Amino acid sequence: MSPEPSSSDYIHLLVERIKAATQHCTRADGSLQFESDTMRRDLIVAAEQLLMAARSPEETLFAIAQQPAQNAALRCLIALGILDKLPLNGDSCSLDDLAEAVGAEKTLLGRILRACTSTSLLNETSELHYAHNALSRALLPPANRALVTLMYDYIGRGVFALPEFLRERKWQDPGSYADCSFMLGSHTTLPMWEFYEEDAVCGKTFDLGMQSEMVPALSSGKQGGNFPFGRELSLPNTTGESQEGDQPTIVDLGGGRGQGLQDIRKNHPELSAARFVLMDLSAHVYYLRRCLHNWDDGACKTILSNVANAMDATRSRLLVTDMVVDNEGAARGAAWEDLGMMAIGGIERTERHWRDLLDQNGFRVHKIWRDDSGGHATIEARLK
Query: In 3D, which of 315, 227, 322, 237 has the Cα closest to residue 268?
Result: 227
CA 265, 267, 273, 275 dihedral sign is negative
d(CA 270, CA 89): 40
pLDDT in tens, 63-73: 999 999 999 99
Domain boundaries, the chain: 8-65, 67-138, 142-209, 222-237+247-383
How many residues does this entry show for the chain? 384
d(CA 299, CA 178): 10
Is residue 110 within 8 A of residue 128, CB to CB? The reply is yes
pLDDT for position 277:
67
pLDDT-based confidence at residue 238 (cuts at 50, 70, 90): very low
Is residue 363 within 8 A of residue 313, CB to CB? The reply is no
pLDDT-based confidence at residue 294 (cuts at 50, 70, 90): very high
What's the rounded mean pLDDT across residues 107-120? 96
Cβ-Cβ contacts under 8 Å for 221 (sequence gap 6 or more) = 373
pLDDT for position 141:
96
Q: Does the structural domain 222-237+247-383 have CATH classification 3.40.50.620?
A: no
User: What φ, ψ does residue 309 adopt, rounded to 5°?
Assistant: -65, -25
d(CA 168, CA 161): 11
Q: Check whether 40 has a pLDDT greater than 60.
A: yes
Beta-carbon neighbour count of residue 239 at 10 Å? 7
pLDDT in tens, 5-30: 667 889 999 999 998 888 878 877 76
Catalytic residues: 293
What's the rounded mean pLDDT across residues 236-240? 43
pLDDT in tens, 314-328: 888 999 999 999 998
CA distances in angstroms from 46 to 2, 8, 15, 224, 246, listed in the order given: 15, 15, 8, 30, 49
pLDDT-based confidence at residue 32 (cuts at 50, 70, 90): confident
What's the rounded mean pLDDT across residues 101-114? 97
| Chain centroid, CA 122 distance in Å | 23
pLDDT-based confidence at residue 243 (cuts at 50, 70, 90): very low
Mean pLDDT value across the chain: 87
**What does DSSP assign to residue 3?**
P
- 29-33, 129-133, 326-330: range with lowest mean pLDDT: 29-33
- 77-81, 181-185, 240-244, 293-297: range with lowest mean pLDDT: 240-244
The 3-state DSSP class for residue 75 equals helix
pLDDT-based confidence at residue 187 (cuts at 50, 70, 90): very high
Is residue 306 within 8 A of residue 299, CB to CB? The reply is no
Architecture of domain 67-138: Orthogonal Bundle (1.10)
What's the rounded mean pLDDT across residues 51-77? 94
pLDDT for position 348:
96
